[in-house]
Amino acid sequence: MQKGKASLIFEKDVYIEHGASVVGSKEGEGPLGKYFDVVESDEMAGADSWEKDLEWHQSLFRQVELTK
């Protein structure tokens, strides 16, 4: 159910079952770098843009998520 312009109310409780973080080298070099699951050295994964290789990133996320 919609509440306001950008909020939703769910009839049942919502839970996060899994999570993982895949970041680029800049984030990995930062102060929180050791807390990320994967630091990817090639942010574009060989593609012209991140959007073009979205499926590859989603697959990597699922692999990381399953190993946790």
Phi, psi dihedrals of residue 9, rounded to the nearest 5°: -120, 125
The per-residue pLDDT for range 9-51, each reduced to its tens digit, is: 889 999 988 788 888 889 999 999 999 988 888 777 677 876 7
Global pTM reads 0.55
Asked if the model's pLDDT at residue 68 lies above 70, the reply is no
